Homo-oligomer: A and B are copies of this chain.
Amino acid sequence: MCAMDTADRPDAAADRGPCAAIPADQMDFVRQILDRVGDKWSMLVISALEARPLRYTELQRDAPGISQRMLTLTARQLQQDGLVTRTAYAEVPPRVEYALTPLGRSLHHVVTSLITWVVDHHGQIREHRSSSTTTS
C-alpha cells in the first residue's frame, strides 16, 4: 500500500502523507505480513494457540473447518516467521506441541485491536452495504 509511484511526479512528494515513513523496500514485506494477517487460517490458528499450547489434533479441533493440508502449511509458515514454535517429542505415540512465541502473541494483540475496530464499526458498514447509495 501507500502508493509509491511519485517517481514521475517530483512535485507530489508532499501529497504522500504518513505513508512516506514506510521505506519502499519494506513495502513488499509489509504486504506479506498483511496477507498473513488477512489469511483465514493463520489468525484462526494463532487465536487457538492464544490460551495455551496445543497439539496437532487439538489445533484441528480448535480451528473449525481447517484441513490437514492447510493446518500443516499454516503451521509451517507461522513457525518460519517465528510466530509459533513447534516442539516434537520422540515418543511412542508421536506428540507435537505448537505454542505462541512472544512475537506471535504481540501480533495477536495488534490484530485484536483491529478486530475491535471492526466490531465497533460493523454497524456502519452494514448500513452502507444495504443502502448502497449510487451517487451518479
Contact = CB atoms under 8 A, between A and B. Distances in A.
Interface in A29-53: 29-31, 33-40, 43-44, 46-48, 50-52
A18 interface: yes
Given A124-B82, A135-B88, A3 B64 contact: yes
Nearest to A36: B38
Interface in A101-120: 103, 106-107, 110-115, 117-119
A34 B1 contact: no
Interface of A: 1-5, 9, 15-19, 22, 26, 29-31, 33-40, 43-44, 46-48, 50-52, 61-64, 79-82, 85-88, 103, 106-107, 110-115, 117-119, 121-122, 124-129, 132, 135-136
